[in-house]
Amino acid sequence: MNSIEEAKQAVIEEFSMFDEWLDKYELLIDKGKNLPEYPEDEKTEDKLIKGCQSRVWLNWKLIDGNLVFYADSDAIITKGIISLLIEVYSGKKPQDIAADDFGFIVDIGLKDNLSPTRANGLASMIDRIRTVAAELSGKSEVSETQKS
């Protein structure tokens, strides 16, 4: 398993292959299409990320001390954005996630190329991931999934 830094660098390199943002949006859309299917019965209010214009559901489990995320969205770009965050942070130690600056978002230019409402949604997704990681730091297993 690669580190957060290695995962962020891989994303930066992947996005740097494209000069045009239209191509980068296509990459995001493709990433969203590759997200594992999210169970319909888990698309509940308590799993919705507040602050997103689109509906974004995020759930997680702590498995062998690593935080594993599951997500879905009803909008294709937003689904790509959450899949990008999952690609970098899922399967990593909560304390490492909580301590990360999420700076790769700026490095790939994503934050500057989103509408204000999508940028607010991205900030909400990052806040939720960071909050969950901070709450679970130091725990090795959790029998329940997300608690609100």
User: Rounded to 10 degrees, what is the CA torsion of 7, 11, 13, 16?
Assistant: -160
Q: 51: alpha, beta or left, given left = phi > 0 and alpha = psi -120 to 50? A: left
DSSP count for the chain of H helices, then E strands: 6, 2
Would you say residue 145 lies in a domain? no
Would you say residue 142 lies in a domain? no
Would you say residue 84 lies in a domain? yes
Instruction: Give the count of domains, the chain.
Output: 1
Q: How confident is the model at residue 52 (pLDDT cuts 50, 70, 90)?
A: confident
Would you say residue 141 lies in a domain? no
**Which of 37-46, 47-56, 92-101, 126-135 bottoms out in mean pLDDT, i.e. has the lowest?**
47-56
Active-site hit among 4, 7, 11, 52 = 52
Q: How confident is the model at residue 143 (pLDDT cuts 50, 70, 90)?
A: very low
The domain in which residue 12 lies consists of 4-136
Q: Any idea what the CATH number is for the domain that residue 123 is in?
A: 3.90.1010.10
How many CB atoms neighbour CB 106 within 10 A? 11
Active site includes 25?
no
Would you say residue 121 lies in a domain? yes
pLDDT at 53: 82
User: What Cα–Cα distance (Å) separates residue 77 from each residue in 4, 20, 41, 132?
Assistant: 23, 16, 23, 23
Would you say residue 147 lies in a domain? no
**Which of 50-59, 96-105, 136-145 bottoms out in mean pLDDT, i.e. has the lowest?**
136-145
- List, for residues 87-117, the tens digit of each pLDDT value: 999 999 999 999 999 999 999 999 889 988 8
Would you say residue 18 lies in a domain? yes
